[in-house]
Structures are given as C-alpha cells and as structure tokens.
Amino acid sequence: MQEEIFSSLQQSYRTGVFNVPTTFYFSIDETRKTLTLDSTGCDIQDGKTVADADCVCKTSARMFNRIWHEGYRPGIMDFMGGAIKSNAPQLLQQFLTAFGK
C-alpha cells in the first residue's frame, strides 16, 4: 500500500512549501525511498540514494498508512516509544503539508 502512496506523491505535491532542496529518506518495513522536495517539485527514487538525508523516517507500514489515510498525527509518545524514528520530526509535519495532509 505504501507503494501506491509514493507513486501518487508527484501529482499531489504543493509547490512553495519547500524553498530549498530538502531530502527525506523513508524506511517503511521493507520499502526504502529517497525523496527530494524543492520549490518546483518532488523527485522520488528507490532505495537510499543520499548519504545524509535532511530527514530520516523509520516506521511500520501500519503507522505510515494510519498517518496518510486516516489523518493520524503522531505525538511525542510515538517518537519516544519508537513507533516512529526520525532525526528531524519537525520536517515530517512540513512534508505532510507539502502533500495537502
């Protein structure tokens, strides 16, 4: 199901949310994607294609789908409890905004 989400991202991207190139690396169960968002668009690549992403997010497919499809917004306990691991949680909120979430 997360493959469907990633394949639809370019069409739903809202320009202007990210004014400088910002990289995201997602590790969702067995799915690995690197995304670069900037002022003009969204580039999606399979696997880890950068050494140091601006934001790394590791979570389960269940949590990712809950956030994307059900509008769930993770709280501090989701991060502290390990359900979501990220080096830059604040960028994840901006990521959601960039796709109208």
Each residue's pLDDT tens digit, 21-63: 999 999 999 999 999 999 999 999 999 999 999 999 999 999 9
For residue 23, the tally of other CB atoms under 10 A from its CB is 20
Residue (of 34, 59, 66) closest to 47 by Cα position = 34
Which domains does the chain possess? 2-98 (3.30.1050.10)
Q: What is the pLDDT of residues 82-93, one digit of tens each?
A: 999 999 999 999
Hey, how many other C-beta atoms are within 10 angstroms of the C-beta on 84?
A: 19
Q: Which band of pLDDT confidence, cut at 50, 70 and 90, is reported for residue 2?
A: confident
4 vs 26, residue with greater confidence:
26
The predicted structure's pLDDT at residue 81: 95
